[in-house]
Amino acid sequence: MSGTRDVVLVDAGGSNIASVQAAFERIGVVAEMTADAGRIARASHVVLPGVGAAGPGMQRLHELGLTEVIGSLRQPVLGVCLGMQLLFVQSEEAESRCLGIIPGTVRRFSEAVSGRVPHMGWNQLQIERPSVLLDGIESGAYAYFVHSYAAPTGDHALASCCYGSSFAAVVARNNFHGAQFHPERSSAVGSRLLKNFLGLTG
């Protein structure tokens, strides 16, 4: 992929997909929306956006016949918000299993521990280990979160965030990456993460 990037957004019904596409446009990249398995497999970078609930989100990927192709991708993949949560093994929000790429279970915030749910607004990142994806983004940087379920911290966490308890804010396992926050709505921090993602090679 010498210098040419071919970014696709997996169109699985998430309502934020147009916003993610616009965020790439703002950094000069045309990202095509597609639900075609062949098209996704050929792309240089694959983004799995998503807003909504894990159950219907997984169901939609099954209906489109995309779960296998996503799991088999070798190029850089970025899950955003729900798209990140679907990379995990399972979610309390869904009866069926998720994509199973990253170990762990996504759980609902407890009101007793976290207070108000959903966790909505700008919160600070804590960098857990150095990575290309978070190059230029430091601990204390603010990103925009909106979610009621959260993924556990662990070896896969590049950055965490604290809302009553600590959870995974940015994750990576092999070529699969994810951001719980919304890069498309996180101002300079968000566009930096997207640029860094485009710099990854498979």
Q: HSE (CB half, 13 Å, CA atoms) of 6?
A: 11
- Of the pair 159, 172, the CB lying nearest other proteins is at 159
Is 113 a binder of other proteins (CB under 8 A)?
Answer: no
Is 124 a binder of other proteins (CB under 8 A)?
Answer: yes
**Of 5, 39, 107, 185, which one interacts with other proteins (CB under 8 A)?**
185
Stretch that binds other proteins, among 39-47, 62-70, 116-124, 170-178 (CB under 8 A): 116-124
DSSP state of 178: E
Is 53 a binder of other proteins (CB under 8 A)?
Answer: yes
- Of the pair 31, 69, the CB lying nearest other proteins is at 31
Is 138 a binder of other proteins (CB under 8 A)?
Answer: no
Which of 131, 171, 129 has the alpha carbon at shortest distance from 153? 171
Is 23 a binder of other proteins (CB under 8 A)?
Answer: yes
> Could you please report the per-residue DSSP string of 19-84?
HHHHHHHHTT--EEEE--HHHHHH-SEEEE---S-HHHHHHHHHHTT-HHHHHH--S-EEEETHHH
